Chain A
Amino acid sequence: MAEVLVYVDHVDGAVRKPTLELLTLARRIGEPVAVHLGPGADTAAATLAEHGAVKVLTADAPEFADYLVAPKVDALQAAYEAVSPAAVLLPSSTEGKEIGARLAVRIGSGIITDAVDLEAGDEGPVATQSVFAASYTTKSRITKGTPVITVKPNSAAPEAAPAAGTVEQLAVTVAETSKGTKVVSRTPRESTGRPELTEAAIVVSGGRGVNGAENFPVIEALADSLGAAVGASRAAVDAGWYPHTNQVGQTGKSVSPQLYIAAGISGAIQHRAGMQTSKTIVAINKDAEAPIFDLVDYGVVGDLFEVVPALTDEVKSRKG
């Protein structure tokens, strides 16, 4: 059976959920071979094996941290040459897309980004994408070279499928030309203790109606009662009420959770582009005419400062 390279997104060997989803999708088109770059491969290998990786190719070099993106492309290319895979899958993170793009140029292949589903086809893997602010669903494939495909978080439920997960060292030579962009400093983002926005099963977002940074704790309290991530609309971010890293929408993060709760968000096209594929959508807004109500499974026309705290209390009491 053909092998499929899966690029592992991890923090010091703690594998992030989108990679487990990739392994699940990779098994539909072949045998997953995971590529783990940086420290922690031994820790990661067990998790990767449990989710179907027949092999874990690993390399660690200071260049992966000291320079931006390109050294990792060298490593993934080395893995590609070692394996001759049927496809290369990466998570649709900023870095995953950039690594995939550069690899595609090097190996003369096409690239598809932001797939939301993947299946085997007669002429290679077929990727489903959600485009034009999720108003269209397309099915595409790569016609030249080895398909390079990046997949959005929450595109599949990770399934356990124990495999060997044999760890093999990958020989990587980082080219001088790959050391062009120095990472002068790196400041890890402070953890809020909440789930990561793009990976969360539930997202609670606040918008213009939240009316000030001092009111965002109302949104956070609901999120915490549900174990959810917190999002914000561009209006709220531009007003400085919440960090840009939490922005949901066309120029922020695109999310596709099981449940999306929009509080005080009118639902401009740019916001809808980032959340329209959520499975269940709920909105709370004072304005009954707000376009967000066209999308919802359940909407409450009312003051979010009344409705949200009441909902939070209700969630807490039901959860006991």
Chain B
Amino acid sequence: MSLRIVVCVKYVPDATGDRHFAEDLTVDRDDVDGLLSELDEYAVEQALQIKEAADGDAEITVLTVGPEDANDALRKALSMGADKGVHVEDDDLHGTDALGTSLVLAKAIEKTGYDLVVCGMASTDGTMGVLPALLAERLGVPQVTQLSEVSVEGGTVKGRRDGDTATEQLEASLPAVVSVTDQSGEARYPSFKGIMAAKKKPVESLDLDDLDIEADEVGLAGAWTKVDEAAERPARTAGTIVKDEGEGGKQLAEFLAGQKFI
């Protein structure tokens, strides 16, 4: 039977733009362009490579939770080569935190059906890096996370995790949740053919009712965490900048000594 792969992707505000909080202290999505989180492109890429290694005997579904615009993230993934999309969209989702998002994703993944869930190592906006672990816990399946190499063979997923103190080789039986790092391999660019084909690929739209989730379990009101204050960090005051005319190293040493670093 063919391998069912679900890739979780997130539509995020462009990190090179001027990101802000809205009045309700959620992320302001109007002020800055959104795009598919760069770190999720690695997840799509690895899913495509797993499918290729299985001689195409796999189906890749890309899944996102987010407002209407999040469809752009799905289209990007579809144009890279994913087969179909699932978009969970509901006004009541506004302000959902990581725990709530993991609940929605887990329900959507179960509804879609899966053997393997592939995530990026973290989103480029929240950068928490906890979602794959949250999903594994909710789905009750192994987590094989933070992988720089991943492969699937005969119902087993294997990977390499470069941790803080050691490199580990990991192994788990499917179904499982994996996450991949930016060391897993450069993501491919969509081809013109891929972009054209993506327009015809199916995207299923789901709301909270479809997933049997009550409105008060998610959203800002249902969040497990609350942001009370968000203050823009004052710009750093202009420092001293000198041009090296032979004495730059010495001048810098003088500064460091003045700050008691030497």
Contact = CB atoms under 8 A, between A and B. Distances in A.
Interface of A: 11, 68-70, 73, 93-95, 97-102, 104-106, 109-114, 126, 130-145, 177, 180-189, 196, 198, 202, 226, 244-245, 250-251, 258-259, 269-270, 273, 280-282, 284, 288, 293-303, 306-315, 318-319
A284 B166 CA distance: 32
B130 A130 contact: no
28 contacts: A97-B130, A102-B133, A111-B130, A113-B130, A136-B233, A137-B233, A138-B25, A143-B224, A181-B142, A181-B144, A183-B169, A187-B166, A187-B168, A280-B261, A296-B239, A297-B236, A298-B252, A299-B241, A299-B242, A300-B242, A301-B243, A311-B250, A313-B249, A314-B250, A314-B252, A314-B253, A318-B257, A319-B262
Contacts of A245: 162, 164
Contact of A282 (B39, B170, B183, B256): B256
Nearest to B183: A244
B227 A139 contact: yes
A291 B236 CA distance: 13
A188 B165 CA distance: 6
B230 interface: yes
A283 B129 CA distance: 29
B103 to A, nearest CB: 9
Interface in B180-239: 181-183, 223-233, 236, 239
Contacts of A258: 261
Contacts of B130: 97-98, 100-101, 111, 113
Interface stretch (B46-54, B73-81, B83-91, B171-179): B171-179
Contacts of A281: 236, 239
A191 to B, nearest CB: 10
A180 B173 contact: yes
Nearest to A296: B239
Interface size class of B (residues with CB under 8 A): 35 or more
Nearest to A127: B225
Contacts of A202: 261
Nearest to A272: B15
Contacts of B39: 251
B99 interface: yes
Interface in B98-132: 98-99, 102, 121-122, 124-125, 127-132
A251 B121 contact: yes
Nearest to B235: A294
Contacts of A100: 130
Contact of A138 (B125, B142, B164, B227): B227
Nearest to A185: B169
Nearest to B231: A137
Nearest to A300: B248
B239 A299 contact: yes
B241 A102 contact: no
A135 B262 contact: no
B176 A140 contact: no
B157 to A, nearest CB: 9
Contact of B226 (A143, A198, A303, A318): A143
Contacts of A315: 253, 256, 262
B210 to A, nearest CB: 22
B154 interface: no
A308 B228 contact: no
A179 B25 CA distance: 40
Contacts of B161: 68
A232 B65 CA distance: 34
A189 B161 CA distance: 12
A297 B261 CA distance: 14
B240 interface: yes
Given A144-B224, A314-B249, A110 B233 contact: no
A102 B137 contact: yes
A307 B246 CA distance: 8
B145 interface: yes
Pick the most buried of B162, B168, B248, B251: most chain A CB atoms within 10 A of its CB. B248
